[in-house]
Structure 1
Amino acid sequence: MVTELKSSPVAGKKFDHFKGLSMVLLGAVLWGVSGTAAQVLFQHDGFDAGWLVCVRMSIAGVLLLAGISMKSGPMRSIAVWKDKRDALRIVLFGIIGLLGVQYSYFASIRYGNAATGTMLQYMGPIFITGYLALRQRRLPSISQCVAVFLALAGALLLVTNGDVRSFSVAPLAVFWGLVSAMTLAFYSLYPQSLLRKYGAATIVGWAMLIGGIGMACITPPWHFTGHSSFGAWWLVCFVVLFGTLIAFYVYMSSLKYISPSEASLLSCGEPLSASIIAVACLHVQMGLPAIIGGLCILVTVAILALNRRKDR
């Protein structure tokens, strides 16, 4: 009996750690699958990327803020607007950060495919590394330099499929993929103080809603184009609920049980799942050089995540 009592806290910690790992993997897989679902909507059903981003962010933002209001009270969800400086920062984060990363990611998928768009987005850590090196006025570590080299080599293999004489991916897909990587870096670095002050759910909820409203000024949700069918609207629901709301919720909840560095490392499941599903279900052709390029980018994320873990 004594042995059981002593071992139970350890077993509980192990279970919580396993639960955290499972949650972040689930979130990463849902993000990857939603990218493939978006590819079907763009290339098969003729949906507009801006329309999907507007609907996705607006609905997810409203649902997330409604959940916060019911759980912690409405005053909790509007606290950020009492400080003018914080209010301006949340608007910038919503437009440049969340809207920027969402639209550029889907635009890359629209002109290319889910695998390429997701892989290029995961070059974001390179921009983070470069920015921090300049800000801290110190050269990147050897592991960071190796990561940058692998990411650049991987991106080259991915977009050329090993033949540098011609791109195997549309130039617009590459352009929007790189924009997605840069906005992902901004999204990761800019809101740190806001997250500590108000909580991730509140900040991301408002940022989603603001980004959705900003996108509505360009592509109103009532200006719908595309082939309307039960299957298409089911995919829209999946992207909004599972690929946005639930994926974010389980990812953020996992941070109660595992460290941010572990969560960042395991988020490699997103590009991996997007690539596997795109190849298996959509018959996207990826040659051996492109596969090697994708693996290089995954290794890049792993190296940078492990490097952050050592620095903590």
Structure 2
Amino acid sequence: MAGVLIGATLWGLSGTAAQRLMQGYGVTPQWLVTTRMLVAGLLLLLAGRWLGVRDRLAPWRDGRSRRQLIAFALGGLLGVQYSYMAAIALGNAATATFLQYLGPAFVTVYEVLRWRRRPRPHEVAALVLAMGGTLLLATGGSLHRLAVPAGAVAWGLVSALTLAFYTVAGASLLQRWPPAVSVGWAMVVGGAAMAVLAPPWSVGGRAVAWDAAAAGLWAFVVLGGTLVAFTLYLASLRHLRPSQTSLLACMEPLAAAASATLWLGVPFTGPMAAGGAAVMAAVLLLATRHA
């Protein structure tokens, strides 16, 4: 349980560190995603041995798994990583993280449409909470203006949609192969694809003041907020039910909101906090009902 809490907290803090890198140093979301995925993916594959993985090339020798892995990497993991970073770059880590957590609500909508069934009462309640929370996060309680730029809201919603795809598309893959292998290779493939647009050797943007502090922030995003966080989270899956890990992972948006407000001075008003709480309530409602 402690591993999930620490991992989720590191995820949340890494979002704030990424915001500082992009808005303070001019690092582009593309370059940050490229380096984060490539470095963390390779290290996660290496860490697979510690997690008990013996054959890290196995998914590539199976045709069906190979196709699933590529779709999972490009449509899921790369999509959610880039859209999340773009939402942070245009807005802030707190709002971006809460919006991303709308993913489970989109998964519910997909399941209802896919199986052509009536939504259950708790699903309806969760969707109402999710929509109300999104409105409060976007407007800050005022329907006459947006509390964050429209682009940040749009990318945040895209990150939720891609997170939903990531969840659905990766389900069978993660059941068949060790998560460290599936996620590790997906990061490498996604990072390699993004490297076409943003080579890791070219920071890009207006990053002219790269110093020790920026290097430390980047290292934390890649190592603490990606490698360590994923390793702790994946290791915990052996001891906790998925519903329990979902509940504990709610620490991520709380850590992002607190660090963005206290460290970077991001304004997070009462209505926005209520919106974030509504989104998390929707996630908790869906998670506990699927326990």
**TM-score, with length taken from structure 1:** 0.90
Deviation at 1:136?
Answer: 2.1
Measured in 2, the distance between the counterparts of 1:36 and 1:304 equals: 27
Query: What is the SS of the residue equivalent to 1:220?
Result: coil
Measured in 2, the distance between the counterparts of 1:67 and 1:31 equals: 18
Aligned to 1:66: 46
Deviation at 1:211?
Answer: 0.4
Q: Percent identity?
A: 46
User: Structure 1 residues 71 and 152, CA, compared in 2 at 3 Å: closer, same or farther?
Assistant: closer
Aligned to 2:19: 39
Query: What is the SS of the residue equivalent to 2:57?
Result: helix
Measured in 1, the distance between the counterparts of 2:29 and 2:84 equals: 9
**Aligned-pair Cα RMSD in Å:** 1.3
Query: What is the SS of the residue equivalent to 1:97?
Result: helix
Measured in 1, the distance between the counterparts of 2:270 and 2:285 equals: 22
Measured in 1, the distance between the counterparts of 2:169 and 2:149 equals: 30
Structure 1: 4+ residue segments shifted above 2 A: 66-74
Equivalent in 78, 84, 93 of residue 99 of structure 1: 78
User: Structure 1 residues 124 and 71, CA, compared in 2 at 3 Å: closer, same or farther?
Assistant: closer
* Rg comparison, structure with higher value: 1
Deviation at 1:126?
Answer: 1.0
Deviation at 1:72?
Answer: 5.9
The worse-fitting range, judged by mean Cα deviation, of 268-277 and 61-70 is 61-70
1:147-166 alignment to 2 at 5 Å? 147-166=126-145
Measured in 2, the distance between the counterparts of 1:73 and 1:133 equals: 36
Q: Relative contact order, CA 8 A, sep 6+: which one is greater?
A: 2
Query: What is the SS of the residue equivalent to 1:164?
Result: coil
Measured in 1, the distance between the counterparts of 2:38 and 2:76 equals: 15
Deviation at 1:23?
Answer: 1.1
Residue deviations 1:262-310 (CA, integer Å, cap 9, x gap) = 100111110011001111111111221111111111111111111111x
Task: Give the total of aligned pairs.
Answer: 288
What amino acid sits opposite 1:230 in the alignment?
A: A
- Alignment of 1:284 onto 2:266: yes
Aligned to 1:81: 60
Unmatched 5+ residue regions in structure 1? 1-20
- Alignment of 1:271 onto 2:253: yes
Measured in 1, the distance between the counterparts of 2:136 and 2:173 equals: 38
Measured in 1, the distance between the counterparts of 2:169 and 2:24 equals: 36
Aligned to 2:231: 249
* Greater share of helix: 1
Query: What is the SS of the residue equivalent to 1:129?
Result: helix
Measured in 1, the distance between the counterparts of 2:236 and 2:65 equals: 26
Equivalent in 115, 131, 135 of residue 110 of structure 2: 131
What amino acid sits opposite 2:31 in the alignment?
A: W
2:94–2:260: 8 Å Cα contact kept in structure 1?
yes
1:219-230 alignment to 2 at 5 Å? 219-225=198-204, 226=207, 227-230=209-212
Measured in 1, the distance between the counterparts of 2:180 and 2:53 equals: 13
What amino acid sits opposite 1:284 in the alignment?
A: V
Measured in 2, the distance between the counterparts of 1:78 and 1:258 equals: 27
**TM-score, with length taken from structure 2:** 0.96
Aligned to 1:113: 92
Deviation at 1:237?
Answer: 0.4
User: Structure 1 residues 281 and 137, CA, compared in 2 at 3 Å: closer, same or farther?
Assistant: same
Residue deviations 1:161-200 (CA, integer Å, cap 9, x gap) = 1111111110110111000000000111112222122211
